[in-house]
Amino acid sequence: MEAGKFERLKLFLYMLPLIGFYSVMFITPIVLIFLQSLGLYSLGHMGETHFTLEYYKKFFELGGTYMHALWFSTWNSAVAALIIAVLAYLMALFFHFIEFKGKKIVTAIYKIPLFIPYLISAFAWWTLLTPGGYIQRFLAWLGIIGETTQLVNDKFGIGIIVANVWINLPYMVVLLVGALKMIDPSIIEASRTLGAGFWSTVKNVIFPLTIPSFIAGSLLVFIGMFGAFSVPFILGGSWPKYMSITIYEDVVDRGEWGVGSVQAVVYMIAAVLIAYLYTKIMRGMRGGGERA
Amino acid sequence: MKKVLFALVFVVLVSMVLAAGIPSWDEVVAKAKKEGKVVWYGYGAEWDKMFYKSLAKEFEKEYGIKVEYVHGSWFDAIQKLIAEKKAGKKVSSFDLVFTWSVPFKQAWDAGVVWKYPIAYVVPNARNVVDAGLLEYTDMIPTHGTFLPFVWWQVAFLYNKEKVKDPPKSLDDLLDWVKKHPGRFTYSDPNKGGSGHTFLITIIEWLYGYDKYYGAECTEDVVKSWYKKSPKGYSLWEYLNELEKYMYQPGTYPAGNSAAMELFARGIVWLEPQWLDVTAEWVKEGRVDPNIVGMYIPEPTIDAGGFDGLFIPAKAPHKYAAMVLANFLLSKKVQKDLVVKRGGIYPVVKGVWEEIPESVKNQPYYVPLEEVTKNLWFRHGECMEKAMKLWVDEVVRK
Amino acid sequence: MKRKTWIFLMSTLIIFGVVFPIIVIFFWAFSERWYGTSLLPSKWGLKWFKVLLEGGDLGKSIYLSFTIAPLVVLFSALISIPAAYVVGTKSFKGKRLVENLVLIPLIVPPIASGIGLLSMYTNWGMIGSYWGVVLVHMIGGIPYMFRSVAAAFESIDPALEEASRTLGATRLQTMLKVYVPLVSPGVLAGSIFTFAWSLNEFVLTLLVGLPNITTLPVQIFHYVGGYYIAPAPASALSVVLIIPSILIVLLMERFVKIEYTAGAGLK
């Protein structure tokens, strides 16, 4: 059914509130940030505006604050995403293939972190991992770490990784359980009747079928952590810092809107890139545009 | 040059006021009552907010002038005033803004401060502990437009149970830290005031306080931090040497509370810390009061910040704002700050003497005489520059 | 037997991993004296809840959080439903693009778009305005609503509408009798997610809501924001937010079909 001109106008009118809202509340600020990053607009309502690449130069200065922040937020979030991927896969297999009494309760409980504000989760982990906190004490008692070892506000962002895993794991599990449900049970049945054990079925049959969800989910989890503010704010150290923190400090503490905007632009490019990859993978999975 | 200019501006201002005639205080109060309302903007921890709100209520009772207390961050207050100026608004949202030196300077530079020497109109301002506080805050010129209200103080906090011999002077600090590896720390200066007060104290101690008192923080001053001081170290050498023996070299507690937490858990035995943060922890039952010992090492630790009040240029209730400021500088309120809020020194004279011994003897108070023996002020401009450089020169190394 | 032990271990581990950090928050919230050197509080009580109530923070924050969230749900629904109807039931060029673009506001870090919004709000004089905060919450709320509702519309057999029309039902009747019952589960799912999103939104509220609009997360931030970490009052506030969060999870488990949950947690 190809829509006629009038029909198209009607469709457009239906979508107008949505388009209007995002034009004002989302696209406008992004455009302004982009202009500010080039010196063509002043977000801070001060000073003259003229074209300059000064802020970009500042950002891309090798060994400078911002390259470090970008690198740190990238690798730190990637490590967390990797841990999440592995743990979530195991959990998803568990929930999908095993029936047991009380499963309903467990499946409800594991989703709780999804709905707890980041700030609270970060803070909870801060109290556990700070020297003298329960987990820090326990690890020190086991002799894994020293009595005074810092697991929060440290150079490696250990606290950030732990809290991020806790927060994002359930999302990945939900996603993977969904992907496992889409696998035709008869395929698994076939593999089993052909004499394959459970783990070899997972390896040879199930895993290849869930790769797209696996990657797509990991991408979303990654970008969420990469740009999050609360977790690195509470658990991050003096150095290095997440880029979300350096943006906040530049803008809020020092009024340096220019370089703050460049960082925001970098975040947006990363986000659009990931959104693109995500939709591409999802479309491939749906098999030529057919929605699951 | 800049200073001369400031002095000139000030003289002009004062003469303008004199020409217009300083209103008598009774007149101010009468006009304030006519205005009937004042919007007071404050910032700080949540327990500060509760305390300021209670002060607002008392003021309402005493003067019949309604106080609307708004609690936010200092950034926000200045941002809003500047935005209102840009938008060409005739009146601003606040009448009296509580802030500290660095944001005050931003507000002054943006032209949103009322250029009227309230410090010479408000009667209680005559009692401030040091006349310099009416002209400067953290050595940033205020031209009498800024009134000190709260005297925060940093001191050395040590674990009385574990430490019998805390370093008596800053000269002994490094030796002590070397002898007790892993037991000293200070807050990340960018995340906690106890850290940046310590930083500026070290600068003034290394290079000589007289070099900083009333001086500008020029390029040369900043460069001098890379050169050997009379004490034998450059600033950055000293801090890096200190770091080697500190708690978890390379990591700094993310703020006053994080540093306090390490102390309360018995992990760190010595650190610079705010008296009021310590007071709050003792009161909240988060640190065993038996381990809390506080003192000022030789020669001293910088006094302040003396956070204070200014009236925005477009404040709609300026007289009421002055009356409220006067109230906040009264002996009664200053005494309450010491007794009820705790860990604060009065900014006006004749109050400390009236404080009961039971309060002065709390573990989180240091006798005022120890602080005033060598009264050093923080250099706000240098402090800000040093904080930023500290990241590159200390943590990253 | 072996299998049973294994299941038991795995379940315990999951439950413990989730519940333990939350329990510690409860410890803090109900502690009146807890020295850093001891394992457990030495005095328990409701002191912090009383302090928060008397200070007026708790009441105000609860009021703000729980009135803003329903408004965000309402307006997000009003904006999303017409668009979701079109995307879910009609086929047209650029349909996929619309679907994908709606994802982007969820993926762009709030701090990035936030500095632009901060500047715009300053220009408009909307810093610290209640409705301003409702609007910024909708940026992240609409995608949840839109996705859930669009999925619901899509699952409706187009033949149903036709059948209803050929049977002589008016447009309105078709709407009420066919669409409403079939789409409402999607709207419900979307509402739950949008509500949870609004309740938890923090960065944008912090940037544009100060100083007046201190929702619960912003209030918590005041207690843990670096300069001052006060675990006890922060935990007491957290308890107030954790309880509805857990209720939301239970609601979701009970009423929301699994196909809608895929839209969850994109935050």
Tens-level pLDDT at each residue, chain A (292 residues) = 455 788 888 888 999 999 999 999 999 999 999 999 999 998 876 667 889 999 999 999 988 889 999 999 999 999 999 999 999 999 999 999 888 888 888 988 998 998 888 888 999 999 899 888 899 999 999 999 887 788 988 889 999 999 999 999 998 998 899 889 888 888 888 888 888 888 888 888 899 989 988 998 999 999 999 999 999 999 998 889 999 999 998 888 777 889 999 999 999 999 999 989 988 887 776 554 333 3
- The per-residue pLDDT for B84 is 81
Q: A195: phi > 0 → left, psi -120 to 50 → alpha, else beta; which? A: left
- The per-residue pLDDT for B248 is 87
- Per DSSP bridges, beta strands B66-72 and B37-43 are parallel
A130–B391 CB contact, under 8 Å? no
For the segment C76-99, what is each residue's pLDDT rounded down to a tens digit? 999 999 999 999 888 888 888 888
Cβ of residue B162 closer than 8 Å to a chain C Cβ: no
- The per-residue pLDDT for B344 is 94
Contacts of C154 in chain A (CB under 8 A): 291
Which chains would you list as touching C if contact means 3+ CB atom pairs under 8 Å?
A, B
Contacts of B83 in chain A (CB under 8 A): 45
Residues with Cβ within 8 Å of residue C227, at least 6 apart in sequence: B45, B191, B192, B193, B255, B256, B257
B211 and B136 inside one domain: no
- The per-residue pLDDT for B10 is 64
Is the confidence metric ipTM above 0.95 for this complex? no
CATH topology of domain A55-286: MetI-like fold (1.10.3720)
CA atoms within 13 A on the CB side of B236: 18
- The per-residue pLDDT for A78 is 97
Domain span at residue B354? 2-151+305-361
For the segment B129-138, what is each residue's pLDDT rounded down to a tens digit? 999 999 999 9
Smallest CA–CA distance from B110 into chain A, residue: A46
B31 and B80 inside one domain: yes
Give the integer Cα–Cα distance in Å for C146 and A174.
Answer: 19
For the segment B23-80, what is each residue's pLDDT rounded down to a tens digit? 789 999 999 999 999 999 998 877 788 889 999 999 999 999 999 998 887 777 887 8
B46–C55 CB contact, under 8 Å? yes
Domain ranges for chain A, please list them: 1-52, 55-286
Model confidence at C210, pLDDT cuts 50, 70, 90, reads: confident
Total domain count, chain B = 2
- The per-residue pLDDT for B44 is 82
**Percentage of chain B exceeding pLDDT 70:** 94
Number of neighbouring beta carbons within 10 Å of residue B227 = 10
- The per-residue pLDDT for A6 is 83
> Is B367 a member of any domain?
no
> Is B370 a member of any domain?
no
Q: Which of C22, C134, C154, C267 to mutate to test the interface with A (most CBs of A within 10 A)?
A: C267
B254–A153 CB contact, under 8 Å? yes
Smallest CA–CA distance from B83 into chain A, residue: A45
- List the one residue out of C240, C237, C242, C235 whose CA is nearest residue C28: C235
Alpha carbon of A45: minimum distance to chain C alpha carbons (Å): 8
| CATH number 1.10.3720.10 given to C56-261 | yes
- Per DSSP bridges, beta strands B270-274 and B146-159 are antiparallel
Domain ranges for chain C, please list them: 1-45, 56-261
B354 and B319 inside one domain: yes
A125–C90 CB contact, under 8 Å? no
For the segment B74-117, what is each residue's pLDDT rounded down to a tens digit? 777 887 888 788 777 889 989 999 999 988 998 999 899 999 99
Contacts of C179 in chain A (CB under 8 A): none
Q: What are the two backbone dihedrals, phi and then psi, of residue B41, each rounded to the nearest 5 degrees?
A: -105, 125
Triad A126, A232, C140: Cα angle to 5°: 115
Contacts of A255 in chain B (CB under 8 A): 106
Q: Which of A238, A242, A249, A252 to mutate to test the interface with B (most CBs of B within 10 A)?
A: A238
B130 and B85 inside one domain: yes
**B304 in helix, strand or coil?**
strand
- The per-residue pLDDT for C263 is 46
Triad A257, A33, A233: Cα angle to 5°: 60
Per-window interface: A 206-235 vs C, CB < 8 A? 220, 223-224, 226-230, 233-234
- Per DSSP bridges, beta strands B146-159 and B96-99 are unpaired
Q: Which of A149, A239, A253 has its CB closest to that of B75? A: A253
- List the one residue out of A253, A268, A193 whose CA is nearest residue B188: A253
Contacts of C15 in chain A (CB under 8 A): 106, 109-110
Alpha carbon of C58: minimum distance to chain B alpha carbons (Å): 12
- The per-residue pLDDT for B244 is 95
- The per-residue pLDDT for A52 is 92
- The per-residue pLDDT for C267 is 37
Q: Which of B72, B254, B261 has its CB closest to that of C226? A: B254
Contact C195, C102 (CB under 8 A): no
> Is B193 a member of any domain?
yes
- List the one residue out of B98, B89, B90, B78 whose CA is nearest residue C210: B78
Give the integer Cα–Cα distance in Å for B283 and B362.
Answer: 11
Domain containing B191 — which CATH number? 3.40.190.10
Q: Which amino acid is at C16?
A: F
Smallest CA–CA distance from C119 into chain B, residue: B83
Q: Output the six-digit token pair for C32.
A: 């009146």
Cβ of residue B283 closer than 8 Å to a chain C Cβ: no
- The per-residue pLDDT for A285 is 67
Contact B333, B353 (CB under 8 A): no
Residue C233 scores a pLDDT above 90: no
> Is B368 a member of any domain?
no
Q: Which residues of C touch B (CB under 8 A)?
A: 31-37, 42-43, 51, 55-57, 122-123, 125, 127-128, 210-212, 222-223, 226-233
Upstream peptide bond of B299 is cis (omega within 30 degrees of 0): yes
For the segment C132-182, what is each residue's pLDDT rounded down to a tens digit? 999 999 999 999 999 889 988 888 887 877 787 788 777 778 777 778 888
Q: Which amino acid is at C241?
A: L
Per-window interface: B 215-234 vs C, CB < 8 A? none
Q: Which amino acid is at B308?
A: G
Q: Which of A148, A237, A252 has its CB closest to that of B267? A: A148
Model confidence at B308, pLDDT cuts 50, 70, 90, reads: very high
Residue B1 scores a pLDDT above 60: no
Q: What count of CB pairs under 8 Å joins B to C?
A: 94
